[in-house]
């Protein structure tokens, strides 16, 4: 009941990712660690999914980065669609060619993504690479906005975030969404002991932003988008 706002999901986590976000809570999954990753046949998955279909709003796929396995994912989602279920995809949107290939083959009802700002800090990649990845994210956002019914733009917030930087990147990203239906949700990046980030030292300096920063980020994003902005939660309640 937490993967899609105000909906119940059956959630599948897929292994592998093309990014190295230092705050990543699923880094074992993202790096395909054999302690948490194993092969699963579509038939076995369907055997679990079919009895639950009357209870859920979406079949939700997350990771890791699901588009790393986009071909078998298309086969799986086509079977899910045949059951008449809604489909939700959580992707980092930085693999636009794969996204387009998937969306040309199967309909996705809901897509959630992180708007990682600033990219050079949150993608965990060298500066030049992060800039390229951000451009691929913008491209992915454009593709999604033309082909997916509902977008959920999640904005992870770190303590060190500068509001003018948030504003500059968010303006570019929101302009690329055009007329699609979307909502913005702020996610404070939290640290141990609640989660186990990839880089604890990085997190010591940047995780658990103050409530005041979240409120100011909310105001900034509300002004930019002209729509309400939700905050997922914060540690001090």
- Minimum distance of ligand SF4 from residue 237's CB (angstroms): 25
Q: Applying CB under 6 A, does 92 fall inside the site for ligand SF4?
A: yes
- Minimum distance of ligand SF4 from residue 3's CB (angstroms): 13
Q: Applying CB under 6 A, does 19 fall inside the site for ligand SF4?
A: yes
* Segment interacting with ligand SF4, rule: CB under 6 A, options 12-20, 46-54, 165-173, 208-216: 12-20
The phi and psi torsions of 10 (rounded to 5 degrees) equal -105, 115
Residue among 14, 63, 70, 96 that touches ligand SF4 (CB under 6 A): 63
Residue 63 or 119 having the CB closest to ligand SF4: 63
Residue 20 or 78 having the CB closest to ligand SF4: 20
- Minimum distance of ligand SF4 from residue 51's CB (angstroms): 29
Residue 21 or 85 having the CB closest to ligand SF4: 21
- Minimum distance of ligand SF4 from residue 170's CB (angstroms): 18
- Minimum distance of ligand SF4 from residue 113's CB (angstroms): 9
Q: Strand 150-157 vs strand 58-63: parallel, antiparallel, or unpaired?
A: unpaired
CA pair distance 58, 136, nearest whole angstrom? 27
Continuous segment of H or E residues that includes residue 219: helix 211-225
List C-alpha distances in Å: 42 to 33, 49, 137: 21, 10, 29
* Segment interacting with ligand SF4, rule: CB under 6 A, options 4-12, 15-23, 128-136, 218-226: 15-23
CA pair distance 218, 91, nearest whole angstrom? 23
Count residues binding ligand SF4 (CB under 6 A): 11
Helix, strand, coil percent content, the chain, rounded in steps of 5? 45, 15, 40
Q: Applying CB under 6 A, does 61 fall inside the site for ligand SF4?
A: no
Residue among 26, 86, 88, 113 that touches ligand SF4 (CB under 6 A): 26
Q: Are 88 and 3 in contact (CB under 8 A)?
A: yes
CA pair distance 54, 84, nearest whole angstrom? 11
- Minimum distance of ligand SF4 from residue 226's CB (angstroms): 28
Q: Applying CB under 6 A, does 24 fall inside the site for ligand SF4?
A: yes
Q: What is the DSSP letter of 64?
A: S
Residue 187 or 224 having the CB closest to ligand SF4: 187
CA pair distance 44, 23, nearest whole angstrom? 32
Q: Which residue has the tokens 């995809």?
A: 89
Q: What is the DSSP letter of 68?
A: G
Residue 227 contacts by C-beta under 8 Å, 6 or more apart in sequence?
183, 184
Return residues touching ligand SF4 (CB under 6 A): 17, 19-21, 24, 26, 30, 63-65, 92
């Amino acid at each position: 009941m937490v993967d899609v706002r105000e909906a119940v999901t059956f959630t599948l986590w897929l292994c592998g990712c093309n990014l190295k976000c230092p705050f990543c809570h699923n880094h074992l999954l993202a790096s395909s660690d054999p302690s948490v990753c194993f092969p699963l046949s579509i038939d076995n998955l369907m055997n679990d999914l079919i009895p639950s279909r009357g209870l859920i709003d979406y079949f939700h796929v997350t990771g890791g980065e699901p588009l790393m396995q986009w071909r078998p994912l298309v086969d799986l989602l086509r079977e899910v669609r045949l059951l008449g279920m809604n489909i939700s995809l959580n992707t980092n949107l930085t693999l636009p060619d794969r996204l387009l290939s998937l969306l040309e083959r199967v309909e996705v009802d809901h897509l959630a993504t992180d708007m990682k700002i600033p990219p050079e800090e949150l993608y965990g990649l060298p500066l030049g690479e992060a800039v390229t990845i951000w451009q691929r994210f913008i491209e992915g956002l454009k593709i999604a906005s033309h082909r997916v019914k509902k977008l959920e733009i999640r904005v992870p917030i770190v303590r060190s975030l500068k509001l003018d930087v948030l504003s500059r990147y968010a303006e570019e990203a929101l302009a690329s969404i055009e007329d699609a239906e979307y909502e913005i949700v702020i996610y404070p990046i939290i640290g141990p002991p609640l989660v186990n980030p990839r880089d604890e030292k990085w997190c010591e300096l940047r995780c658990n932003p103050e409530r005041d920063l979240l409120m100011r980020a909310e105001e900034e994003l509300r002004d930019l988008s002209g729509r309400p902005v939700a905050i997922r939660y914060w540690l001090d309640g």
